[in-house]
Structure 1
């Protein structure tokens, strides 16, 4: 009889403790919005919108001596993402770019883009993205919007730079290739 009473008591106490462990400490309320705004997206390295949302940025060839030590940068190339150019993208609309933190080439240790060149890759070099509106490197791990721009005259221009950055020491010679995914947001 004592064994059954002890077992029942232990079961009741463990059930009581388990209930306490799973008690809620707070509530997070999540809100959002889906916009009906449909703006054309294009990009490129020229002064006018390109032909689509997927576009290349070709960095200039630089000497390895330009990237002689950890953190050195060189070979900056300007590009822009253009939003608008159609009747449904109204003037006054605020837009920004969000570089997707799930992009496979993002180095989780640095927030830059890893060199993914498959043939003769340059060593100790990554690609850094700079928000040219504020001249500040973007930590691509952070999932943060770029500096917003406003659609004016039917179009908004979001300026950026891509550049080489030495990581882990002096850069070695070779090829550099990488990519990153982005989304346009309406902050």
Structure 2
């Protein structure tokens, strides 16, 4: 046994036995950039509150408006403003979009809408759908992580317009309260 190991070692040293070789075929370079927030963010027309946390209040609707799955009602325009306050330093030419946080608890992963989180007497078979007004009011699937349409800052401000509306899911909606929420981030692609 010792003799065989010695012979193998001598043959390997003499180059008669192939040993694995590794070739270097290329290099991967990864680059990035960390940007500071250069634009103030606030709710615009159609919102209630100040700063980047705000509310959109949908008008009450009758159950007849949401009598079947897929029915929509009470579309309410709202916007997110960039650089809207007096101290704005939002540079002209900057492109911006909104990215809704796919880990927000209210996002229904199947429909991409916002589930009703109301407590007490919640309406059933209803969700809230967000529409991108810069994309012909196309419904946003919030579960996919796709950002809104981009806008370009001009005059140190920009407006990102949206709409929120009720949508019946799983059948006719029932009487009750609707309450939901979603986190968002302004991105500068």
- The TM tier, using the shorter chain, reads 0.7 to 0.9
CA separation of 1:39/1:170 partners in 2, compared to 1, >3 Å: closer, same or farther? Answer: same
Mapping of 1:45-124 within 5 angstroms? 45-46=45-46, 51-85=50-84, 86-124=87-125
In the other structure, the counterpart of 1:42 is 42
Residue aligned with 2:114, SS? coil
Contact 2:96 2:187 in 1 (8 A): yes
Report the TM-score when normalising by structure 1.
0.80
Query: Unmatched 5+ residue regions in structure 1?
Result: 1-26
CA distance in 1, matches of 2:133, 2:32: 28
Cα RMSD, aligned residues only:
2.1
Residue aligned with 2:59, SS? coil
CA distance in 2, matches of 1:29, 1:137: 37
The count of aligned residue pairs is 161
Q: Radius of gyration: which is bigger?
A: 2
CA separation of 1:30/1:169 partners in 2, compared to 1, >3 Å: closer, same or farther? Answer: farther
In the other structure, the counterpart of 1:171 is 173
CA separation of 1:87/1:121 partners in 2, compared to 1, >3 Å: closer, same or farther? Answer: closer
CA distance in 1, matches of 2:29, 2:56: 40
CA separation of 1:87/1:114 partners in 2, compared to 1, >3 Å: closer, same or farther? Answer: closer
Query: Unmatched 5+ residue regions in structure 2?
Result: 1-26
Mapping of 1:22-33 within 5 angstroms? 31-33=31-33
Residue aligned with 2:170, SS? coil
CA distance in 2, matches of 1:28, 1:78: 45
Deviation at 1:74, TM superposition (A): 0.2
